[in-house]
Amino acid sequence: TEQEMQEEYIGIRGDAFDQLILSLLRKGKLTKTLIGKVFDKNLFSQIFTHPSISEDNYEYYEFLGDLVVNKSIGQYLSRRFPQLRCPQGVRVLTRLKINLVSKKVLAEFAESLNFWDYISATREYRMTKKKPMLEDCFEAFMGALEQQIDEVCCKPDKAGRFTSGGGYKICYNIIQNVLDSYPICGGLPNEHGVQEGKLNYEELVDPKTRLKELFDKHRDTIGKVKYKSVREEQLCHTEVYADFSKMTTRSMMPGMSKLTLGHGTAA
């Protein structure tokens, strides 16, 4: 019922929550002393709180964490694939990064770290927005952790100025820990953190993008192309139409003829 959907689910707290946070901080390679300094129950509880049930939620830290996650993943990829550190490799690195910072993948990272049972939100959001919440919480945790470490642990230099940067390194360590066990293009890194072998183009680029690249390459021959997303029996796919109006009298769309060169998901 609507009333049940508006009910609040309060994420697990107490000792189990403390152990979750401690396990994450250990993945960041923090010493016991530093863990004691940055461990703030109220802050981390806020990170696992959705806006649907409290104004003290993760939104601000999610904004900060988006920057941390993007930078960490970009840096990680350049280390895992050193052969791509060249002008020709930038396009591939960009595609790899796009794939890894997607809502789907970041949600997988958060779930692999057992975030889900600890996120407080209304039951409606938990039933309908699981992936976005997991992604947001993952980014928020990184944003809060970086800021907390920089504020608590940074020391003034000789000129009396406070410097930051240690927080990013800890966040990077956590993300590296997750990515080291995540297959990218079907492979895992070796003991030196480098992935050997060739990258699989079909795993690197989604079907819809590959199809578009093919049509763009042969634009002079095929002509103008239109894409139409079609939902059938809870499945969504893409139909492709080319401008063959001068060559045919029957069209699926005004002036357009349906092509059957391939298929793929519309997502």
pLDDT tens by residue, 108-152: 999 999 999 999 999 999 999 999 999 999 999 999 999 999 888
Same domain, 89 and 220: no
* pLDDT-derived band at 185, boundaries 50, 70, 90: confident
Same domain, 197 and 215: no
Same domain, 53 and 72: yes
Same domain, 141 and 176: yes
The pairing of beta strand 235-242 with beta strand 257-258: antiparallel
Same domain, 129 and 252: no
Q: What is the pLDDT of residue 162?
A: 53
Higher pLDDT, 212 or 102: 102
38 found inside a domain = yes
Same domain, 78 and 152: yes
The mean per-residue pLDDT over the stretch 195-220 comes to: 72
Q: What is the pLDDT of residue 14?
A: 96
What amino acid is encoded at 242 in this protein?
A: A
Higher pLDDT, 187 or 108: 108
236 found inside a domain = yes
Distance (Å) of CA 253 to CA 67, 111, 220, 246, 264:
43, 43, 21, 14, 20
Q: What is the pLDDT of residue 160?
A: 57
Same domain, 194 and 239: no
The mean per-residue pLDDT over the stretch 67-88 comes to: 94
Same domain, 92 and 154: yes
Q: Is a pLDDT exceeding 60 seen at residue 244?
A: no
Domain range holding 131?
Answer: 2-204
Which of 204, 224, 245 is where one domain is finished?
Answer: 204
The mean pLDDT value of the chain amounts to 83
* pLDDT-derived band at 234, boundaries 50, 70, 90: low
Q: What is the pLDDT of residue 267?
A: 45
The mean per-residue pLDDT over the stretch 188-214 comes to: 76
Higher pLDDT, 6 or 125: 125
Q: Is a pLDDT exceeding 80 seen at residue 100?
A: yes
Q: What is the pLDDT of residue 196?
A: 81
Q: What is the pLDDT of residue 240?
A: 59
d(CA 230, CA 220): 27
Same domain, 183 and 123: yes
Burial of 138 (0-12, 13-18, 19+ CB in 10 A): buried
- Could you tell me what percent of the chain has a pLDDT over 70? 75
Q: What is the pLDDT of residue 246?
A: 46
Q: What is the pLDDT of residue 88?
A: 86
Q: What is the pLDDT of residue 153?
A: 74
pLDDT tens by residue, 29-54: 998 988 999 999 999 999 999 999 99
10: nearest Cα among 165, 90, 117, 88? 117
Q: Which residues are catalytic?
A: 66, 139
- Could you tell me what percent of the chain has a pLDDT over 90? 54
Q: What is the pLDDT of residue 217?
A: 75
Burial 67-105, CB ≥16 within 10 A → b, else e: ebbeebbeebbbebbeebeeeebeebbebbbebbbeeeb
- Contact between 223 and 243 (Cβ < 8 Å): yes
Q: How many domains does one find in the chain?
A: 2
191 found inside a domain = yes
Top-ranked range on mean pLDDT: pick from 79-93, 154-168, 216-230: 79-93
* pLDDT-derived band at 261, boundaries 50, 70, 90: very low
Q: What is the DSSP string of 126-147?
A: HHH-HHHHHHHHHHHHHHHHHH
